[in-house]
Structure 1
Amino acid sequence: MSKYLMGIDNGGTSSKTAIYDLKGREVAQCTTYTNMLTPYEYWTERDMDELKRVNFEAIRGAVEKSRINPKDVIGVSVTGHGNGLYLIGRDGSYVRNGIISTDNRAHRIVEKWLSDENYENIVRPRTYATIWSSQPPALLKWLDMNEPEVYDKVEYVFMITDLVRYWLTGKAGFEVSNASGTSLFNQDTENYDEAVFKYFGIEKWLKKMPPLIGSSEKAGEITEEASKKTGLVRGTPVAGGLIDITASALSTGLVKHNQLSIVTGTWSINQYIDNKITVVKDLFMTSDYPLAGEHLLTEASPTSGSNLTWFIDTFLKAHSKLLKIVDDESSVYDYCSRLVESVKPWESKLIFYPFIFGSNAGVANSSAGFIGATKETSLAEFVAAIYEGVCFAHKSHVEKLMNINEHILDAPIRIAGGITNSETWLQMFANVFQRTLELVNVKENGALGTSMAAGVMAGVFPDFHAAAKNMVNISKVIKPDLTMAGVYKQKYELYKKSVISQADVWANIENTVLLKPKAKELVCN
């Protein structure tokens, strides 16, 4: 009798459920969507009722599509975007909208902390990470300053992984890999850190934090209510789960030292594992990895393939007929790849900053844009610049990681995510990095990675090494074109220098307040 594992993955606007056999083959998948709410500048939120509904719909959809007996699902596990903030009241009620990991309302608070030398003495040596604006410390502090009435209504502070697991099981917990990415967790003691809470001025929130739970630990079982709404069998065990960056790393088979994993999507995720960690200023994140004694070192930012999606939605879809593009998703992306193939790298110096959703430039207030365009610049060059800009953003992250471990490119790069649907883009990645790529055959990185936690929990795999060995499949190897090394080295240097030179421009844009026309005064006779 076949057995199956279920992985549930929540991004910023989508909820995905996938079912896998024990060889990592996807049996069925269902995606549902929520609306991103942006009531004010810098805010990104979601309605909690809608979020619960679409999660249950995605689970039910996957179960129905699979046509398997739900009794054969032996384990369920959840992943989702790291950080953000989801607050639950004492009766399971929703205290306020959930906050997504792209929220930036607390950026002024973070700037103040990062400019304080006490942050470097108190926080970083404990968390091994850099605080950013959509992490719980910043958002909780913002709530204390702007919505103080919220505190008394809250029973639990959750990440989205913990929230969805709570809806499925009725049990509250805070999963360790998620906790370790929040800037609230001490990487040495493997626990919440009271001194860190106190530094951030949110020590009262410590009593609202749920008990910590391991990734592959049994966190509860499917309740009667969840069973009726999802089609899963009551009593099906649910694992602690994983933060999305860890799930994505596992989905690429990242279980060895000195190997780089790249995942492309909304976020540029670049990471490796090590059993030794040190304090590194400005490193994006060091988090717990579900292998004994290992940590995940991550450089990431929302600077990856979603920049192309933005360009398509903004400039191409409205003109698809004019451009003679068949009106469907795959043909638009195929059209973009053909445009890129028509431009030789040495034919265009157009530079794109892939910062539509955020930046990794190391320059305050940096935003997206093109530079170097002339009246002769073609549509193909604009699209090629987007492809290149995304590659360069990944490369700048990897350079930071190589300053810590120079051997992470000794082995082929494991790569997965949205851009792997484009052979043109994959080849460009190989050419920019001048390294061999191993393409992982996975459509839903987060769902596959977190399903491994369910497999370990259920006892079908003794550990995550075995889970990865059985469930990760390499579908293709891409070799770099060595003749492209010189031109991409030049273009990457142009990109880096251009980013630095834009600092004053971005600062001026951020600080300029545009004047509205004054209303004309009424003259009464």
Structure 2
Amino acid sequence: MAVFLGIDVGTSGTKTIAMREDGDILASATSEYSLSSPKPGWSEQEPEDWWKATVESVGKVLKNGKVKAADVAGIGLSGQMHGSVFLDKQGNVIRPAILWNDQRTAAECADIEKKAGGREKLIGLVANPALTGFTAPKILWLRKNEPKHFDKTVRVLLPKDYVRYRLTGEFATEVSDASGTLLLDVKHRQWCKPLLDKLDLPLSLLPKVYESEEVSGQVTAAAGKLLGLKAGVPVVGGGGDQAAGAVGNGIVKRGVISATMGTSGVVFAHSDELQIDPQGRVHTFCHAVRDKWHVMGVVLSAGGSLQWYRNQLGQAEMAASKKIKTDPYNLLTDQAAEAPPGCEGLFFLPYLTGERTPHADPHARGAWIGLSLRHGPAHLVRSVMEGATYAMRDCLEIINDMKIPIRE
């Protein structure tokens, strides 16, 4: 029976799974890596780390799943969105990749809106406002602040598409991930030449755009030898992490939405037609389903807020969890249950890294509001959980206001 590999290029690691065509998971493996923050608000990674993690995790999966190279019939890719990999004419990486959670490009976002003729006209072109996490402002930042690097740049790729390039030698992307660059005409599912012209960026910088299920290339002999795969294995377009996850969760028809919470939190709704929030509070992207779209609200520090609390204020719970061999989050959850709903008037704003939905403000910051002598650790940790949940509800309310049906 044929086996398919799924490779997810995440922020903290790359995960590979091997799955038979009947859906049975044979093996999975994750190889981790770090990110760097050379300045406040900056977030970068080395693309070579993604490739090394791909090689390592694929090797583990083939071994642990007892998968023969001849049985691998195809590869799908997903991964963190919006990151920018800058390549020179030899295909070499010029500088570390700038990631989705990097906040350095506020000035460039303002410049994009101005050159587009205003926020409303920009949304008309690419269905979304300019946000610091998106790819286009990163390209403009490079041109302004690192002109020597920009002059060497002949291609810009998203994270998973850099791994695709290393696998196949092809410069390619697909519509769901490309939607998050701010350079895609989301309605027509192709690069937005009018906006590129306004920004004085050549179309040649960008890779060919595919639908998610289309074959975008084949594994090269060199990559196959390194990974233990046969040359010629097809690699499909794949999807950005949220769109790919939505397909896996069955968010492929109208009325079905999902709410997921990791470092960030996402409320994701399928749409059969292009639906745009005129205020740009939520994202409208192409779905990883042909000729469909999705609307997505994003909370930048949802689970990340609880992780921050654990690391900074939960040292006692972390130490206790080691003694009784449990996850520290279990102890924090038990502690939160001791406080009543609403935390007796204590609120937490989860804007530790700025915010997207609904504020679109990279300068927003977190806060506890309403602290009193009655409040203790149980209130603090519960308010963090509630604050992230309220922020997710903000996303849901906007989607509801857009008259997108919510049936399940």
Normalising by the smaller structure, the TM-score range is over 0.9
Counterpart AA for 1:26: I
Rounded Cα–Cα distance in structure 2 between residues aligned with 1:61 and 1:212:
31
Match runs of 1:415-426 below 5 Å: none
Rounded Cα–Cα distance in structure 1 between residues aligned with 2:63 and 2:352:
37
Rounded Cα–Cα distance in structure 2 between residues aligned with 1:158 and 1:363:
24
Rounded Cα–Cα distance in structure 2 between residues aligned with 1:345 and 1:82:
35
Partner of 2:330: 334
SS at match of 1:298: strand
> How big is the shift at 1:287?
1.4
> How big is the shift at 1:346?
5.2
SS at match of 1:180: helix
Match runs of 1:235-314 below 5 Å: 235-279=232-276, 280-314=278-312
SS at match of 1:181: helix
Partner of 1:498: none
Cα 1:335–1:171 shift into 2, 3 Å: same
Rounded Cα–Cα distance in structure 2 between residues aligned with 1:354 and 1:371:
11
Whether 2:216 is the aligned partner of 1:214: answer no
Partner of 2:98: 99
Match runs of 1:18-417 below 5 Å: 18-114=17-113, 118-120=117-119, 122-199=121-198, 201-204=199-202, 206-279=203-276, 280-317=278-315, 320-321=318-319, 324-326=320-322, 330-345=326-341, 348-359=344-355, 360=357, 362=359, 364=361, 365-408=363-406, 411-412=407-408
Alignment RMSD (CA, Å): 2.2
> How big is the shift at 1:230?
2.1
Partner of 1:513: none
Rounded Cα–Cα distance in structure 2 between residues aligned with 1:54 and 1:181:
24
For structure 1, the 5+ residue unaligned runs are 413-525
Cα 1:223–1:406 shift into 2, 3 Å: closer
Cα 1:339–1:109 shift into 2, 3 Å: same
> How big is the shift at 1:269?
1.1
Rounded Cα–Cα distance in structure 2 between residues aligned with 1:347 and 1:149:
53
SS at match of 1:58: helix
Cα 1:91–1:398 shift into 2, 3 Å: same
CA contact (8 A) 2:352 2:364 kept: no
> How big is the shift at 1:121?
5.0
Rounded Cα–Cα distance in structure 1 between residues aligned with 2:325 and 2:395:
29
SS at match of 1:297: strand
Cα 1:330–1:173 shift into 2, 3 Å: farther
Cα 1:53–1:382 shift into 2, 3 Å: same
CA contact (8 A) 2:178 2:184 kept: yes
Counterpart AA for 1:226: A
SS at match of 2:8: strand
Counterpart AA for 2:10: G
CA contact (8 A) 1:269 1:300 kept: yes
CA contact (8 A) 1:301 1:358 kept: no
Equivalenced residue count is 405
Cα 1:6–1:45 shift into 2, 3 Å: same
> How big is the shift at 1:290?
3.4
Q: Higher Cα Rg: structure 1 or 2?
A: 1
Cα 1:92–1:29 shift into 2, 3 Å: same
CA contact (8 A) 1:285 1:298 kept: yes
Rounded Cα–Cα distance in structure 2 between residues aligned with 1:108 and 1:328:
49
CA contact (8 A) 2:84 2:159 kept: yes
Q: Give CA deviations for 1:268-292 in whole Å, capped at 9, x if unaligned.
A: 1112122222442213321112334
Rounded Cα–Cα distance in structure 1 between residues aligned with 2:243 and 2:207:
21
Rounded Cα–Cα distance in structure 2 between residues aligned with 1:363 and 1:296:
19
Rounded Cα–Cα distance in structure 1 between residues aligned with 2:32 and 2:388:
25
Counterpart AA for 1:301: V
Q: Give CA deviations for 1:224-263 in whole Å, capped at 9, x if unaligned.
A: 2222332233322111111112112112101110221112
Query: More deviation in 154-163 or 388-397?
Result: 154-163
Rounded Cα–Cα distance in structure 1 between residues aligned with 2:346 and 2:273:
41
> How big is the shift at 1:406?
5.0
For structure 2, the 5+ residue unaligned runs are none
CA contact (8 A) 1:130 1:284 kept: no
Partner of 1:441: none
> How big is the shift at 1:116?
7.5
Q: Give CA deviations for 1:110-155 in whole Å, capped at 9, x if unaligned.
A: 1354478813454211211121113222111111111112233223
Rounded Cα–Cα distance in structure 2 between residues aligned with 1:382 and 1:337:
11
Cα 1:343–1:319 shift into 2, 3 Å: closer
> How big is the shift at 1:159?
0.7
Rounded Cα–Cα distance in structure 2 between residues aligned with 1:292 and 1:171:
21
Cα 1:112–1:320 shift into 2, 3 Å: same
Partner of 1:6: 5
Query: More deviation in 236-245 or 284-293?
Result: 284-293
Counterpart AA for 2:397: E
Q: Give CA deviations for 1:158-206 in whole Å, capped at 9, x if unaligned.
A: 111211111111111122221122211112332112211123x2323x2
Identity %: 22
Rounded Cα–Cα distance in structure 1 between residues aligned with 2:337 and 2:40:
38
Rounded Cα–Cα distance in structure 2 between residues aligned with 1:85 and 1:329:
40
Query: More deviation in 232-241 or 276-285?
Result: 276-285
Rounded Cα–Cα distance in structure 2 between residues aligned with 1:112 and 1:318:
47
SS at match of 1:262: strand
> How big is the shift at 1:327?
5.4
The one of the two structures with greater contact order (alpha-carbon pairs below 8 A, sep at least 6) is 1
